[in-house]
Amino acid sequence: MTSRSPLLARLDSPRVLGYLLITPAAIILLGLLAYPLLLGIWLSLTSATIGKPGEFVGLQNYATIFADPIFRGAALFSVFYTICAEVGKLILGLALALLLNQRFRGYRVSRALMLLPWVAPTVLSALAWLWLLDPQFSAVSWLLIRLHLINSNIDFLGSGWAARFSLIVVNIWRGLPYFAIGYLAGLQSISKDLYEAAAIDGANGWQAFCRITWPLLLPLTTILLAFSSIFTLTDFQLIWTITHGGPTDATQVFTTLAYQRAITGGQLGEGAAIAVSPIVFMVVLAVFVVRSVRDR
Amino acid sequence: MSHPDRRRFLELSAAGIGAGALAGGLPGLASAADVVFKPEKDAKLELLRWTAFVPSDQVIWDENTKKFTAATGVPVSIQSLAWGDMAPKAALAAQVGSGPDIIMGWNDDPFVYPDKLVDMTDLVENMGRAHGGWYDNARSYCYDQDVKRWVSLPVGCTGNAVNYRKSWVKEAGFAEFPKDLDGMLKLSRVLKKNGHPTGFALGHAVGDANSWTHWILWAFGGKQANTDNSIAINSAETVNALEYARQLSETMIEGVAGWDDSSNNKAFAGGKIGLTMNGISIWYNGKKDTPDIFPDFANVTPPMGPVKTHTVSNNFTSAFIFKYSKYPNAAKEYMRFMLDKPQAERWVTEMKGYVTPALRAYADLPIWTSDPNITPYRDALASAKYDGYNGKPGKAAAQALDEFVIVDMFADVCVNKMAAKDAARKAETRLATIYKRA
């Protein structure tokens, strides 16, 4: 019998091998997630501008942005945008999943087509929506006029609230497949026996949904909602492509304002403070996710 | 100060001896300018420029680049980006200290990171001497008053003019397009009444919204800042400009607050509007896309307001070289070559008015008078003012433009129905914050 080398013997130790195996993942996490995050936080505490590291200024950038009505408007709209879009995506995504959970002719193709808004490049779909929302050449307005439902074109982007709701609709359209496919997977994991037992007990469809489907989808809902909220709160491409934050800054969100201040305006410190500020919301959401996964 | 690594290769008197003869190794570079920069050994260049607005621009630029490479042995790789994406790309290059050697950016871009840019003073001054001097806008957008040097080489502007339908103006009872803003408002009202509204962008359209709002502001004597950079926007002149815009907005088509930079082009070509402001692309696209109504398209220099002088706002483009470039001399020589007479004359001519050169000598090219609709674009720089006028061009003016302060002030009055005085006060507060932090 040959004796094992000391190196192999050390690797046999769970403590050594464990650390060794998580090292690549740790390096990736530290390099691609922790470092940029910490750098962003550090920049937000400095007077850095493009090309100049700046000096440590403490919380001055935060004081500046919280005193800025445009930032406050952007923060409020970011939250409003996220809440409205998430509620819309949840309801419509669940409805779509319930529909696609049925067996009908072409159901496989329908499931594949449903993913299109999610897989299409965001900028391309935003440009298509820009055309659909055009004040003069909107296909939506054209159709509604032809159907004699309206008399003149709808001004989708011409006022603050119209533009805000238009963006929310576009975001719902884009994020719908994420919820639908998630719910579809959830629905298919629910045992048919439960529905059969409920039917024997005389439960109708609505009662079966309320007492079986929804409670069993609730943990999944928490995860879908939390991740999607993070994506929505950090949405940039749709808004920047369609409105550039206008009209009159009505559709500015954290990301567009941070981009405007830091990249095109050169104020890295202030832009970083704007970008870092929604982290509070995201940490709450992340804790929510971790807890719900753990509780499950 | 010049870039420390730059070596002046030779200086020729304008009186006569051909540059090619003296340059020896660079016989193809005979020039009207009296400075030629010797490219570094094994130099190769990367240029990032905005995507050509007209195919002939790219074709001639590429041909001239090949001529440069043939004459110097310096290969030049060219990449293009949509013009609105140039600023973030240039900012990224400045921040990370790596990227293209030369970037052709827009407006105040070079003022955001002047310390990162090669001193262009020698090239700019000599090009100016050789080609009839620079328009005032060149200095406004390329000479940094803080670092006290030229940080960018002026190239020119995509000029703006007022575009209208001749038959509709005639139908409105105007034999010719009004020369002043009062006349234009009267015309606009009749056009609206006749079912041909005007259309001026009031959304966050970088080019179109900024150009017409600044034109109106300056036409009434309004200004963003004083020469000492104190904020001057909240004035009687600004209020008058806003009141005028409010009246003009009543003649506009629905939806201008949601317009981007392509909206007025589409509306004009589609016959939805009878009057707008744009670069010459709106006219050329009509020639190509709507030949049936194209003969009815016309362009005119924007009318004057109470200040009794033309006050055009254009998109100005210039070329800057980053200090991280290993080949600053080659980069300078390339841009000198491209803007020198043998190359630039053809480039400008073939672009048919898309870019108005910042060098005055090129205003004499026959292309500018080949059609009366092109001539207003020749004059775009002669009467232009600059972002942040009458303050100091620089970071603050650049940031105010990026944040659409002037556009939003007009939109507050025209769209949000805010009182002109309140809108001016709001803009004053925003500008004060921006100028303080810059």
Q: What is the pLDDT of residue B28?
A: 41
ipTM over 0.85: no
What's the rounded Cα separation, in Å, for the pair B145 and B279? 29
- Within 8 A of A249 by CB-CB distance, chain B residues are 404, 408
In this structure, the answer to whether residues B114 and B254 fall within a common structural domain is no
Cβ of A264 within 8 Å of Cβ of B266? The answer is no
Could you tell me which chain A residue has the CA closest to the CA of B257? A158
Could you tell me which chain B residue has the CA closest to the CA of A267? B438
In this structure, the answer to whether residues B119 and B13 fall within a common structural domain is yes
Calculate the alpha carbon distances from A148 to A43, A131, A144 in Å: 55, 21, 6
Q: Does B238 reside within a domain?
A: yes
Could you tell me which chain A residue has the CA closest to the CA of B84? A264
Q: Does B3 reside within a domain?
A: no
In 3D, which of B267, B305, B333 has the Cα closest to residue B126?
A: B333
In this structure, the answer to whether residues B119 and B214 fall within a common structural domain is no
Q: Which residue has the tokens 């001497």?
A: B129
Q: Does B295 reside within a domain?
A: yes
Question: Residue B129 carries which side chain, given as an amino acid letter?
Answer: R
- pLDDT at residue A189 is higher than 90: yes
B116, B399, B415: residue with CB nearest A159: B415
Q: Does A38 reside within a domain?
A: no
Query: To the nearest whole angstrom, how far is the Cα of B321 from the nearest Cα of chain A?
Result: 14
In this structure, the answer to whether residues B134 and B170 fall within a common structural domain is no
A13 touches chain B (CB under 8 A): no
Q: Does A28 reside within a domain?
A: no
Question: If contacts are CB pairs under 8 Å, which of residues 164-183 in chain A contact chain B?
Answer: none
In this structure, the answer to whether residues B307 and B320 fall within a common structural domain is no
3-state secondary structure at position B421: helix
Q: Residue A186: enclosing H or E segment and its boundaries?
A: helix A160-188
Query: To the nearest whole angstrom, how far is the Cα of A289 from the nearest Cα of chain B?
Result: 35
Q: What is the pLDDT of residue B83?
A: 86
Kindly provide the b/e burial profile for residues B17-53, where b requires at least 16 CB atoms within 10 angstroms of the residue's own CB: eebbeebeebeebbbbbbbbbbbbeebbbbbbbbebb
In this structure, the answer to whether residues B229 and B83 fall within a common structural domain is no
The CATH number covering residue B283 comes to: 3.40.190.10
Q: Does B66 reside within a domain?
A: yes
- Within 8 A of B259 by CB-CB distance, chain A residues are 135
| pLDDT tens sequence across A16-32 | 888 888 999 999 989 98
Query: To the nearest whole angstrom, how far is the Cα of B412 from the nearest Cα of chain A?
Result: 7
Q: Which residue has the tokens 């001519």?
A: B349
Could you tell me which chain B residue has the CA closest to the CA of A164? B258
Q: Does A36 reside within a domain?
A: no
Q: What single-letter DSSP state applies at residue B45? A: E
Query: To the nearest whole angstrom, how far is the Cα of B105 from the nearest Cα of chain A?
Result: 12
Q: Does A134 reside within a domain?
A: yes
Q: Which residues of chain B have pLDDT under 50?
A: 1-30, 32-35
Cβ of A266 within 8 Å of Cβ of B395? The answer is yes
Q: What is the pLDDT of residue A286?
A: 78
Q: What is the pLDDT of residue B381?
A: 94
B432 touches chain A (CB under 8 A): no
Q: What is the pLDDT of residue B112?
A: 87
Best probe of the B interface among A155, A255, A264, by most B CBs < 10 A, is A264
Calculate the alpha carbon distances from B46 to B40, B98, B104, B222 in Å: 14, 11, 11, 41
Query: To the nearest whole angstrom, how far is the Cα of B115 from the nearest Cα of chain A?
Result: 8
What value does the mean pLDDT of chain A take? 91
In this structure, the answer to whether residues B35 and B103 fall within a common structural domain is yes
Q: What is the pLDDT of residue A2?
A: 57
Query: To the nearest whole angstrom, how far is the Cα of B373 from the nearest Cα of chain A?
Result: 26
Cβ of B254 within 8 Å of Cβ of A64? The answer is no
Cβ of B115 within 8 Å of Cβ of A264? The answer is no
What's the rounded Cα separation, in Å, for the pair B351 and B345? 10
Q: Does A63 reside within a domain?
A: no
Q: Does A2 reside within a domain?
A: no
Q: Does B98 reside within a domain?
A: yes
- Within 8 A of B395 by CB-CB distance, chain A residues are 49, 266
What's the rounded Cα separation, in Å, for the pair A252 and A70? 8
In this structure, the answer to whether residues B261 and B218 fall within a common structural domain is yes
| pLDDT tens sequence across A126-168 | 999 999 999 999 999 999 999 999 999 999 999 999 999 999 9
- Within 8 A of B430 by CB-CB distance, chain A residues are 70
Q: Does B380 reside within a domain?
A: no
Residue A7 — pLDDT band, cuts 50, 70, 90? confident
Number of domains in chain B: 2
Q: What is the pTM of this model?
A: 0.87
Q: Does A20 reside within a domain?
A: no
In this structure, the answer to whether residues B247 and B129 fall within a common structural domain is no
Average pLDDT over residues A245-254: 95
Q: Does B124 reside within a domain?
A: yes
In this structure, the answer to whether residues B146 and B272 fall within a common structural domain is no
Number of domains in chain A: 1
Query: To the nearest whole angstrom, how far is the Cα of B1 from the nearest Cα of chain A?
Result: 19
Q: Does B376 reside within a domain?
A: no
Domain with A136 in it: 68-295
- Within 8 A of A134 by CB-CB distance, chain B residues are 255, 263, 266
- pLDDT at residue A1 is higher than 70: no
The CATH number covering residue A241 comes to: 1.10.3720.10
Q: How many CB pairs under 8 A join A and B?
A: 123
Domain with B116 in it: 8-157+315-369
**For the residues of B155-217, what is the DSSP string, one character each?**
EEEE--EEEEEHHHHHHTT-SS--SBHHHHHHHHHHHHHTT--B----SS-TTHHHHHHHHHH
Cβ of A263 within 8 Å of Cβ of B112? The answer is no
- Within 8 A of B433 by CB-CB distance, chain A residues are 64, 68
In this structure, the answer to whether residues B179 and B240 fall within a common structural domain is yes
Neighbours of B150 (CB within 10 A): 26
Q: Does A152 reside within a domain?
A: yes
Average pLDDT over residues A8-19: 81
In this structure, the answer to whether residues B174 and B33 fall within a common structural domain is no
Could you tell me which chain B residue has the CA closest to the CA of A65? B433
Q: Residue A170: enclosing H or E segment and its boundaries?
A: helix A160-188
